[in-house]
Amino acid sequence: MSMRSTAYVLLAIAIVAEVVATSALRASDGFTRAVPAAIVVVGYGLSFYLLSLTLRALPVGVVYAVWSGAGIVLITIVAALLFKQTPDLPAMLGMGLIVAGVVVLNAFSKMSAH
């Protein structure tokens, strides 16, 4: 597996860790519940560590766009499923624009060719 491919795998794991941590943040009830609070700390720590490793092979702008864009979409899905926070049409359109921006950045920008 190439260094670039490995970086994208690490980025995917970082995104999942961030989404798990963000979900646990709500469950931690202001860090008053130990297990969810520990999940938050470990999840964010792992996410940022893996994010830093991806920067060895990918440009920071691309990494951050993919990480934040995917994180927004995934946490919205988790919030809808677990917390019954259903996104409305403007939220869905906004997320569509975010995804479109990340696709354009990766597919057409010379920045992503690092």
pLDDT tens per residue across span 5-17: 999 999 999 999 9
Q: How many domains does the chain have?
A: 1
Contacts of 82 (CB under 8 A, 6+ apart): 23
Q: What is the pTM of this model?
A: 0.88
Residue 12 lies in domain: 3-113
Q: Which residues of 52-85 are buried (b: 16+ CB within 10 A; e: fewer)?
A: ebbeebbbeebbebbbebbbbbbbbebbeeeeee
Please state, in angstroms and as integers, the Cα–Cα distance from residue 61 to each residue in 24, 31, 64, following that order.
27, 32, 5
Residue pair 52/11 in contact (Cβ under 8 Å)? The answer is no
pLDDT tens digits along 53-108? 999 999 998 999 999 999 999 999 999 999 999 999 999 999 999 999 999 988 88
